[in-house]
Amino acid sequence: MSNHSERPAHTNPDWTIDQGWADYTETEHQTWDTLYERLMAVLPGRAAPEFLHGLEALNLNRGGIPNFEEISDELEQLTGWRVVAVPGLVPDDVFFEHLANRRFPAGSFIRKPEQLDYIQEPDVFHDVFGHVPMLTDPVFANYMEAYGKGGLRSLRHASLKNLAALYWYTVEFGLIKTDQGLRIYGAGIVSSPAESRFCLEDPSPNRIGFDLERLMRTDYRIDDFQQTYFVIDSYEDLFRATVDTDFAPFYAQMLGKFDLKPEDVLDSDTVLTKGTQAYANRGGRFAA
């Protein structure tokens, strides 16, 4: 979470900047294309149909880093969302304010060629390729707005960690049940070829049915594959759970409850897969 940063002098009061599309170099556009090709070798049959449709609807395969104005004009017609450029992570209140107003803040920089597989800060590839296609789905688009509004309300309660877990386990690392099997809709997964395979096919992680309170009590790893993925039945369920929950009493009751470890499995869970945790137990990304 990023609460204490000073706003850089070159940003607008809402932390947006000009994307500076004309200034991207050939190498930077090439990095987008390389990442795009790698993902498209993996995502058909693994990503949610809504994600794949979104990529097409926004023409994200046209080659090179997309121009935010162009894709925003398309996206706005579909669901009323726009993509705005920011320098990187923005403070929570700023982030929520954008989402609550159907603006998705996307980093405008792109990772260096030597960082193709992993970066900590969200760049234009993660933010636009990962997040923006799902915003073409009307129900998911409503969920993201509801999340932003919930976030603004929650700033008055001391439970941002719980809300951040909701974002993490749905928007970033969510799976959905379909008639063809589990599919990925989380942006953190679809922007990683390795995790796209791992989350569906590896025996290590748990796959557990979505339960709002359970999930919001669960800690998570920010630097490696997840130990648990939560599976929704529909975007409607996600939206309803978020809108219908009166977060104030919910938080009061949950206050200080951030007590579940990433790998925990409870008797009350709907378990689709109980993971072996073999990957995490041998040291994960940092294994020798």
Interaction of residue 97 with ligand HBI, rule CB under 6 A:
no
In the complex, least distance from residue 198 CB atom to ligand HBI, rounded to whole angstroms:
21
Our finding on whether 78 is near ligand HBI (CB under 6 A) is no
Binding span for ligand HBI by CB under 6 A among 42-50, 88-96, 136-144, 223-231: 88-96
Q: Which does 140 bind (CB under 5 to 8 A by kind): ligand HBI, Fe ion, none?
A: none
Kindly state the smallest distance separating residue 39's Cβ from ligand HBI, in Å: 19
90 vs 199, beta carbon nearer ligand HBI = 90
Q: Should residue 58 be labelled a site residue for ligand HBI when binding is judged by CB under 6 A? A: no
Cβ burial of 7 (10 Å; 0-12, 13-18, 19+) is middle
What sign results for the dihedral spanned by CA atoms 163, 165, 166, 167?
positive
Helix (H) or strand (E) holding 141: helix 138-154
List the single partner that 15 binds among Fe ion, ligand HBI, none, CB under 5 to 8 Å by kind. Answer: none
- What are 53's two structure tokens? 């449709």
Residue from 17, 40, 89, 272 binding ligand HBI (CB under 6 A): 89
Q: Token pair for residue 279?
A: 């990957």
Q: How far apart are alpha carbons 166 and 160 in whole angstroms?
A: 10
Compute the distance between CA of residue 52 and CA of residue 178 in angstroms, rounded to an integer. Answer: 14
Who contacts 168 (Cβ-Cβ below 8 Å, separation ≥6)?
Answer: 220
Residue 81 interacts with, from ligand HBI, Fe ion, none (CB under 5-8 Å by kind): none
Residue 2 within binding range of ligand HBI, rule CB under 6 A = yes
Distance CA 229, CA 182 (A): 11
Q: Which does 95 bind (CB under 5 to 8 A by kind): ligand HBI, Fe ion, none?
A: ligand HBI
Element (H, E) at 102: none
Largest separation between any pair of C-alpha atoms in the chain: 55
d(Cα 189, Cα 253) in Å, to the nearest integer?
A: 31
What is the contact surface with Fe ion in residues (CB under 5 A)?
A: 122, 187
CB atoms within 10 A of CB 42: 17
Rg (CA), the chain: 18
> Which CB atom, from 11 or from 30, has the smaller least distance to ligand HBI?
11
Which residue in 35, 90, 184, 208 binds ligand HBI (CB under 6 A)?
90
220 sits near ligand HBI (criterion: CB under 6 A): no
Our finding on whether 164 is near ligand HBI (CB under 6 A) is: yes
Instruction: Identify whether the C-beta of residue 217 lies closer than 8 Å to the C-beta of residue 164.
Output: no
Stretch that binds ligand HBI, among 67-75, 89-97, 197-205, 228-236 (CB under 6 A): 89-97
Nearest to 229 by CA among 194, 282, 185: 185
Residue 16 or 228: the one with the smaller Cβ distance to ligand HBI is 16
> Does residue 135 touch ligand HBI according to CB under 6 A?
no
**Chosen from ligand HBI, Fe ion, none, partner binding at 89 (C-beta under 5 to 8 Å by type):** ligand HBI
Binding site for ligand HBI (CB under 6 A): 1-2, 86, 89-90, 92, 95, 105, 122, 163-164, 167
